[in-house]
Amino acid sequence: MKKLFIISIILCFINIFNISFWYSDFWENVIEYQKYIEIRNNLVRKFNFFDKSKLQNIKNKVKNQKCYQYKIWEDYILSPICLLNWQIPKLSMQDALKTSWQYVDAFDNSYDLKRKYFEYHWANPIFENKVQNLLPLYDYSIINEYLLISLNYKNIMIKIPKNIIAINTMKDFSYYVVWKDLWNQWKCWLQNYMVAYNSLDNLILKPWEKFNINKHISYLPWYCHIWRYKEPFYGWVCWASTQLFRVALLSPDLNIIERENHSKRRVYYYAEYIYWDDAGIYWDIKNLTIKNEWDKSIMFKTLSSKDRKYNYLVWISSQKSNKYTMIKKEQTWPLSAEVKKTIMDKNSMTESKNKVFVSKYKKKHYWMN
């Protein structure tokens, strides 16, 4: 029995030695992603002197090789052929946003607050410079092709951080964006807006699920109590409800079930940017209810600009839609107006659905310059 125990201990040590030897040998053939980018950038400057005829010979030798992928802790180890054939791992929408939302700086498109007629497809995120310089993972250039083929031929693998994989995943998403300026607001107003606005962060709507913002923001802590008596929510949360309404206008897959306008046209806390597309909420009398008519779950995210002057409300879906929206804001009478949302099919370029939201105001609050 003693001998058996000693033999098993010896075999265990041999296995550990073999594993550690393999592990150290494995890492000798792995380069960091930053190093790969550095080599690629240097190659761009030198590539004019390279004999491009050699590329096809090398390509023929590696084109049928298998793509190897390993996940070690939070990093991904990929063979270069994976990048070449665009066989890159994808994260779930929640995981990708959780990992790399912090690197989003702004968006290249958003709800047009000033124009009365515009069309909207989707927006793309603009990432911080420190990660923007590490993108793209792969571009379809002969230089990048040569580099990846050469690395693969030498059995060198690339270690890619999770945040780069997440950013690559995020580029496939659709973003519908509405921004709000935070110009010179009274502290109490701003606090109530921020309580309601922040409550929308990470909100997930499942397919065909309805969402009522009145219920969602009722009795949240940290409201600034402008009046002595207790209410479900307080003044100026309508900034958040109006952002949500405008996001729903942009999205071809969000249906607006209920919406009410304010009693006064161009409410002054909207600054210069209100063209009958506001959404007033009050107790259960004025409601804003939307419905997800996409066959996948969607997610809401909030983002403040670096200078804290703007807040973005973003609706995100995990893939690009084959539809887009056209928005028309039209004054029909001095104290009434219509906002028309038209959903267009990209393939047939025909109208698939439209909906009109009527606004009737009791009086003007002020004339816009």
Are 208 and 337 in a shared domain? Answer: yes
State the DSSP string of 62-84: HTTPPP-EEEETTEEEE-HHHHH
* Residue 194 lies inside a defined structural domain of this protein: yes
Ramachandran angles phi, psi of 296, nearest 5°: -130, 160
280 with 264: CB under 8 angstroms?
A: no
Say yes or no to pLDDT of 35 above 70: yes
Q: How many CB atoms within 10 Å of residue 72?
A: 11
* Residue 81 lies inside a defined structural domain of this protein: yes
Say yes or no to pLDDT of 48 above 70: no
State the DSSP string of 260-319: ---SEET-GGGTT--SS-----BTTTB--EEEE-SSS-EEEEEEE-TTSSEEEEEEEESS
Structural domain span for residue 198: 174-364
Mean pLDDT of the chain: 81
* Residue 15 lies inside a defined structural domain of this protein: no
253 with 293: CB under 8 angstroms?
A: yes
Instruction: Give which of 331, 348, 333, 359 is closest to 116, Cα–Cα.
Output: 331
For β-strands 323-333 and 117-120, DSSP reports them as antiparallel
How sure is the predictor about 369, in pLDDT bands with cuts at 50, 70 and 90?
very low
Higher-pLDDT residue of 44, 87: 87
Are 145 and 235 in a shared domain? Answer: no
Are 286 and 359 in a shared domain? Answer: yes
Higher-pLDDT residue of 144, 213: 213
Are 222 and 296 in a shared domain? Answer: yes
Are 40 and 145 in a shared domain? Answer: yes
76 pairs with which residues across the strands? 71, 160
299 with 310: CB under 8 angstroms?
A: no
Are 264 and 227 in a shared domain? Answer: yes
Higher-pLDDT residue of 35, 258: 258
The region of weakest confidence among 92-106, 143-157, 324-338 is 143-157
Higher-pLDDT residue of 107, 353: 107
Ramachandran angles phi, psi of 130, nearest 5°: -65, -25
* Residue 166 lies inside a defined structural domain of this protein: yes
Give me the pLDDT at residue 202, please: 95
Distant-in-sequence, close-in-space partners of 323: CB < 8 Å, separation ≥ 6: 252, 253, 343, 344, 345, 346, 352
Amino acid identity of residue 209, one-letter, is E
Instruction: State how far the Cα of 30 lies from the Cα of 158, in Å rounded to an integer.
Output: 6
Are 143 and 207 in a shared domain? Answer: no
Instruction: Give which of 82, 46, 97, 11 is closest to 300, Cα–Cα.
Output: 97
Mapped onto helix, strand or coil, the DSSP state of residue 340 is strand
Give me the pLDDT at residue 22, please: 41
Instruction: State how far the Cα of 58 lies from the Cα of 55, in Å rounded to an integer.
Output: 5
Instruction: State how far the Cα of 148 lies from the Cα of 40, in Å rounded to an integer.
Output: 9
Give me the pLDDT at residue 62, please: 66
310 with 323: CB under 8 angstroms?
A: no
Instruction: State how far the Cα of 187 lies from the Cα of 193, in Å rounded to an integer.
Output: 10
How sure is the predictor about 236, in pLDDT bands with cuts at 50, 70 and 90?
confident
Say yes or no to pLDDT of 327 above 60: yes
Are 165 and 183 in a shared domain? Answer: no
Are 66 and 208 in a shared domain? Answer: no
Number of domains in the chain: 2
Higher-pLDDT residue of 86, 254: 254
User: Mean of the pLDDT values across residues 235-261?
Assistant: 92
Instruction: State how far the Cα of 131 lies from the Cα of 105, in Å rounded to an integer.
Output: 11
What does pTM read for this prediction? Answer: 0.83
Domain boundary among 170, 186, 221: 170
Give me the pLDDT at residue 190, please: 86
Instruction: Give which of 155, 158, 149 is closest to 62, Cα–Cα.
Output: 149
User: Mean of the pLDDT values across residues 258-276?
Assistant: 67
The alpha-helical segments, DSSP class H, found in the chain are 2-28, 33-46, 53-62, 80-84, 93-100, 129-132, 142-153, 162-170, 187-198, 213-217, 238-250
* Residue 239 lies inside a defined structural domain of this protein: yes
Instruction: State how far the Cα of 129 lies from the Cα of 124, in Å rounded to an integer.
Output: 15
How sure is the predictor about 276, in pLDDT bands with cuts at 50, 70 and 90?
confident
Higher-pLDDT residue of 146, 227: 146
